[in-house]
Structure 1
Amino acid sequence: MNDSESDYEEELEAFLIWMKDAGYTAYTQKSYLADVREFLEGLNSKPLESVKKLHVVSYLTSVRERGVSDATRNRKHASINCLFKALIELELLSVNPAAGIKKSKTEKNREPVYLDEGDLQRFLSAIDGKYRSRNLAVFLLMSYMGLRVGEVHTLNLSDYNAERRLLRVFGKGRKWRNVPVPEDVAPYLEQAMKERLTPWRSKEESMFISQKGRRLSIRGIQGIAADTFGRFQNGVPEAHRRPYSSHKLRHSFATMLLRKGADLRTVQELLGHSSIQTTTVYTHITSREKEEAMARLQISMPMMEA
C-alpha cells in the first residue's frame, strides 16, 4: 500500500463496501478503484472534505492531456463521482465536488464498427477448438441477442427458461430484462449447457465455465473473441484490418434489427439501454442505402432547353 492509499484507507474501504452492496460487478469495482486510486494519488494527502471542483477538473484535464479517449475520461469522472456519492451516503462526507462537471463530448457521428450478416456467418465459422460449443453459444448470445460481455459473464443456468425460450439477463444499472431466444439459437445454447464443463465447486451456478472450472471471466470472453477475430481476419493485410472486439457483436445485433425494420424503442428494450439516446448511435446509414433511397424518388422535371 502506498502513502496515498494509507491516507485514504478508510474511504477506499467504505467505497468498496458501498459498491459491493450496490451490486456492482467485480470488474466494475476493480476499474473504479483503479481510477479513484490514481485521482487520490494526485491530491498529496489533502483531506477529502477540502477537495474542490477545481481539483477534479484539474485531474480530468491531465488525463485528457495524456491522450486517453473521451470515453475513458468520462469513465474516470464517473468513478470519482461515485466515490463521493458513496461517502456522502455513508455519512463520511457532505459535499460532492465531482457533481455537475460536464462530460466530454464523445464523437457522436462516429459509426460503430459492426459486422454485416455475411461477416457474422464467417466470424461464427471461425470458432473452433475444444470448447467450440461453449464459445459458439457465448457469441450467438451477443450477436443475435445483443448481450454485453458482462451480462454473458453473470449468466446462471437458472436464467434460461427452455419452455418459454426466454433468457433473464442482469444488465447495467442492476436491471433485469427478459430476452427471447431465437428459435435457431436455442439448440446451440442448450447444447452448450449440456456439454458444460465440470465446475471446480459443485454449487457453481454459472452457465459458462472456464477451463479452470470457474465462471468464465470477462477477460476470458474478450480473449476468445480476440483469437476468433484474428482467424476471421486471417489473410487481410494488417493495414486493412478492422478494430473488432467482442462488443462489436452487440453493435452488429442492433444494426441488423434496425435494418430489418424494428422500431427504436423495441431495440432499446432488447439492448437494455436506459436512454433511447444511447440506442440512436446504431441508426447509421451506409452510402449504398442513401443511394437506394434517392433512387426511389420519382422526379418529374421540366424539359431542358436546347
Structure 2
Amino acid sequence: MLDQVRNRMRVKRYSLRTERAYLGWIRRFIIANGKRHPREMGGPEVETFLTMLAVRGNVAASTQNQALAALLFLYRDVLKTRLPWMEEVVRAKRPSRLPVVLSRQEVTGLLACMDGRMWLLASLLYGTGMRLMEGVRLRVKDLDVACNQITVRAGKGNKDRRTVLPAALIAPLQHQAEQARILHRQDVEAGFGEVWLPHALAKKYPNAAREFAWQYVFPAQRRSTDPNSGAERRHHLDEALLSRALKRAAKQAGIDKPVSAHTLRHSFATHLLEAGHDIRTIQELLGHKDVATTQIYTHVVNRGGLGVLSPLDR
C-alpha cells in the first residue's frame, strides 16, 4: 500500500520532501491503530489520531495540518474513499507570531563571520529576499546581470517571480558560476553532466539537461543517485550546510536571536520598509499572494497603527 502511495505522489509530481513526510504520517497512523489496514478504518480513526496529536502530542498547528493532509491524500487519492466531514477533530491553534528580524548591524556582523559559498548564499538570501530552497535551486540561466534581476522559478505555490540582483554580488556570483562550469565540464568528460529538470522538460528538450545554462549555481561537491530515477547526477548544494553555518556565525557574532535562512528573508523585507519602499513592491519581491502577509513587517518596524512614542521618551 505504501508503494501505491509513493507511486501516486510521483504521478502527481509531489516533492521528495512531501513524499517522505506523508509516508511517515501514514506509518504512524497505521501503527497507532494496531497495524490495521487503512481500508478497515475511516473517519472515526482519523479523527481520533488527529485529536491525539493535538491533545496528547501538543503538536504545532502546522504539524497537525500536515498529518491531516497526508491522511486525506491516502483516502481520497489512493484508496478512493470519501471521508465524512471531520467536525470532531480538535485542531491545534496556529499562534500569531512576529518574525525574528536582525538589525543592519547584526546582519553585517553575521556575514563578517562567514566566508566562501556559505557567505555568498547567505548574502544572496538577504540581498534578494529569496527562500532557502529558492536560493540553492537557482540555475545559471536565471541570473540576469544585464537587467540586475534574478528569476525565481517554481517558488512557493509553484509561482515564478523576479527579484533584485544586488550589484555587490554580481562579481561573486559570476565567479561561483565559473566554478560550477568547471565542475560541469568535468562531469561531461566523465560521461555524466546531466541535471534534474522539472516536469516533462527532459522529454521536451532532450539535450537541455546537459547544457550549462540549466546547471545549479550552487552545485553539490559530489554526484549522487536520484532516488526517483536512479540516475547519477550532480544535485544542488545541501541546504543543511547553510543552516549549520548560520548558527556558527550567529554564535561567533554574539547574536542572541534564533538565526535561520528565513531570518535573512524577514530582515530583507523589514529593512526595505524602513528605507521607505512601497509595501506592494516588497510583496512582489517576496512572492506573497496576499499583501496582508507582507503587512506583518509593518508591525516589526513599528509603522502604521503601532507607530507610537512611549510617554517615557517624551
Q: Does TM, scored on the shorter chain, surpass 0.5?
A: yes
SS in 2 for 1:61: helix
Counterpart pick for 1:118 among 71, 86, 105: 105
* Pair 1:175-2:196 in alignment: no
Q: Distance in 2 between matches of 1:102 and 1:259?
A: 40
Contact 2:279 2:294 in 1 (8 A): yes
Q: Give the equivalent residue in structure 1 for 2:67.
A: 76
SS in 1 for 2:260: coil
Q: Distance in 1 between matches of 2:41 and 2:282?
A: 42
Q: Distance in 2 between matches of 1:279 and 1:137?
A: 26
Q: Distance in 1 between matches of 2:86 and 2:138?
A: 33
SS in 2 for 1:151: helix
Q: Give the equivalent residue in structure 2 for 1:244.
A: 259
- Normalised to the residue count of structure 2, the TM-score between the two structures is 0.73
SS in 2 for 1:168: strand
Q: Distance in 1 between matches of 2:280 and 2:304?
A: 22
State the Cα RMSD in Å.
Answer: 3.2
Q: Which aligned pairs between 1:261-280 and structure 2 lie closer than 5 A?
A: 261-280=276-295
Q: Which aligned pairs between 1:4-43 and structure 2 lie closer than 5 A?
A: 9=1, 12-43=2-33
Counterpart pick for 1:203 among 182, 189, 194: 194
Q: 1:263 to 1:56 in 2, by over 3 A?
A: farther
Counterpart pick for 2:47 among 28, 35, 57: 57
Number of residue equivalences: 272
Q: Distance in 1 between matches of 2:303 and 2:279?
A: 22
Counterpart pick for 2:34 among 27, 44, 55: 44
Counterpart pick for 1:143 among 126, 129, 133: 126
Q: Distance in 2 between matches of 1:103 and 1:157?
A: 43
Counterpart pick for 1:107 among 86, 95, 115: 95
Q: 1:51 to 1:253 in 2, by over 3 A?
A: farther
Q: 1:286 to 1:162 in 2, by over 3 A?
A: closer
Q: 1:266 to 1:139 in 2, by over 3 A?
A: same
Q: Which runs of 5+ in 1 are unaligned?
A: 1-8, 296-306
SS in 1 for 2:168: coil
| Percent identity of paired positions between Structure 1 and Structure 2 | 27
Q: Distance in 2 between matches of 1:16 and 1:103?
A: 27
Q: Distance in 1 between matches of 2:243 and 2:21?
A: 16
SS in 1 for 2:28: helix
Letter of the structure 2 residue corresponding to residue 165 of structure 1: N
Q: Distance in 1 between matches of 2:253 and 2:287?
A: 28
* Pair 1:257-2:272 in alignment: yes
Q: 1:107 to 1:13 in 2, by over 3 A?
A: same
